[in-house]
Amino acid sequence: MSENVIKSMKSRRSRIASLIRKELSTLFKDKISMFILFIIPVVMIVTVGAGEVAATEYIDVDVWVIDFDNTYDSNRLIESLRKNVTVTSNWDVQDQYTAEEFLDKAKETLPTTLIAAYIIIPEGFGYNLTEYGKTSLEVHVDSIDFISALAAELLIQLGLVQFQLESFSVEAEIFYFPEMQPELSFSNLLQAGAPSIVSIVLFATANLVATQSVVGDIPLKRLLTTPLYRSEVVVAKNLAYSIVAVFQIIISLGLLKAFNVPIYGLFIDVFLILWLCSMTGISLGVLFSTVSKTRLQAAQMFLFGFMIMLIITLMVRSPFVLPFLPLEQTQVAFSNVAYRGMSLLQIIDRILYLILDTAIFFTINIIYLRRKKEFV
């Protein structure tokens, strides 16, 4: 390598380092950014956990079970459910009602909120389970009473998981936490909420704060009259925010640890995957910031982009789009590593998608900033 190239690379490195220093100083002085980066994730993680505690601990859930099967398996299921909710089955009231009469009574009682749900165990429940390893049952909840319905669904789900664990009829999609024996405690409820939000909150907050990085840096136009290159600006902004993300991740993981949420993956793997999630959010945020003309526009872009991603991720779930959606990849990658104990190698496809997304946002950003006329 010629001396000039080495000199030029050193100059670049020095300019980028200087811009990172400036960016970090600016960021740490900005109270709103600090609030978004460090307070919101903490509040959200705790709120979701506490919210689920409220939905379950303080509601006495009554469930009626109408058992048309009356086999060993159906009885065992009822016993599993009893561990989590107050169950009244047709066998408990067989002196007063037949199964059909008890079903009619359940239909009448559900809207009165005396019960949170009723479950119908159809005939053949045990046979199907033994023969095919699959079976079905109907759970009826009162959707108008949202909190009761939520609590009932969650607790019935816990009972079912327990039942399936005992009967060895493991179906992967039912088991969200296969190693866990669910109990009604704060940490387990936090754990139930955490997989879906930790990575998303980190992605979103990094994304949101980064949307102000270029458009909010008003004197940047003057900085660009110095030997600083536009591509260096993009590199420095991304790196500066990724340094902040490190602190953010440490705080979030510390919070999970404080609430005794068991993490099954290696700490370094969990850390790296969260950092990658944040990096994807940051690169998208800096891109929004470069494209926007005002701070408000940048914030709107974040909101619009996030809503679209959320809708596609949660509702549309198009297989053609999902692999490229950072939100989906972020959430699945983190859940797999943190809660299923998978290694990074096992989720290499998700990692590659996230790296690809980051690289795409980063490249578009450099190209766009180079052509941006407002800086002339």
- In the set 225, 268, 345, 374, which binds other proteins (CB under 8 A)? 225
- In the set 221, 257, 293, 370, which binds other proteins (CB under 8 A)? 221
- In the set 9, 11, 43, 185, which binds other proteins (CB under 8 A)? 11
Q: Is the dihedral of CA 84, 126, 178, 50 positive or negative?
A: negative
- With tokens 């907050």, the residue in question is 205
By CB under 8 A, residue 294 contacts other proteins: no
- In the set 100, 107, 146, 227, which binds other proteins (CB under 8 A)? 227
By CB under 8 A, residue 1 contacts other proteins: no
By CB under 8 A, residue 376 contacts other proteins: yes
By CB under 8 A, residue 293 contacts other proteins: no
Alpha helices in the chain (DSSP H): 3-29, 31-34, 40-57, 72-82, 99-109, 125-132, 146-167, 186-210, 220-223, 230-258, 267-291, 295-311, 326-338, 348-371
Identify whether the C-beta of residue 118 lies closer than 8 Å to the C-beta of residue 66.
yes
Question: Closest CB to other proteins among 2 and 226?
Answer: 226
Of 210, 207, 272, 202, nearest to 236 (Cα)? 210
- With tokens 């016993």, the residue in question is 79
Cβ neighbours of residue 235 under 8 Å, at least 6 residues apart? 16
Q: Which residues inside 228-257 make contact with other proteins, applying CB under 8 A?
A: 228
Site string for other proteins, 189-218 (x = CB under 8 A): -----------------------------x
- In the set 3, 4, 173, 222, which binds other proteins (CB under 8 A)? 222
Identify whether the C-beta of residue 215 lies closer than 8 Å to the C-beta of residue 287.
no
Q: Which two three-digit tokens encode residue 7?
A: 């000199």
260: left (phi over 0), alpha (psi -120 to 50) or beta: left
Q: Which two three-digit tokens encode residue 142?
A: 């009162």
- In the set 168, 219, 268, 315, which binds other proteins (CB under 8 A)? 219
Identify whether the C-beta of residue 23 lies closer than 8 Å to the C-beta of residue 240.
yes
By CB under 8 A, residue 5 contacts other proteins: no
By CB under 8 A, residue 319 contacts other proteins: no
Question: Closest CB to other proteins among 236 and 347?
Answer: 236
Q: For 117, what's the count of Cα atoms within 13 Å in the CB-facing half-sphere? A: 27
Q: Which two three-digit tokens encode residue 120?
A: 């119908």
Q: Which two three-digit tokens encode residue 262?
A: 């068991």
Q: Which stretch binds other proteins (CB under 8 A): 11-19, 124-132, 185-193, 351-359?
A: 11-19
- With tokens 């953010």, the residue in question is 248
By CB under 8 A, residue 4 contacts other proteins: no
Q: Which stretch binds other proteins (CB under 8 A): 128-136, 166-174, 219-227, 262-270?
A: 219-227
Question: Closest CB to other proteins among 19 and 78?
Answer: 19
Backbone angles phi, psi at 310, to 5 degrees: -65, -45
Site string for other proteins, 19-58 (x = CB under 8 A): --xx--xx--x-----------------------------
- With tokens 């100083």, the residue in question is 25
Binding site for other proteins (CB under 8 A): 11, 14-15, 18, 21-22, 25-26, 29, 218-219, 221-223, 225-228, 376
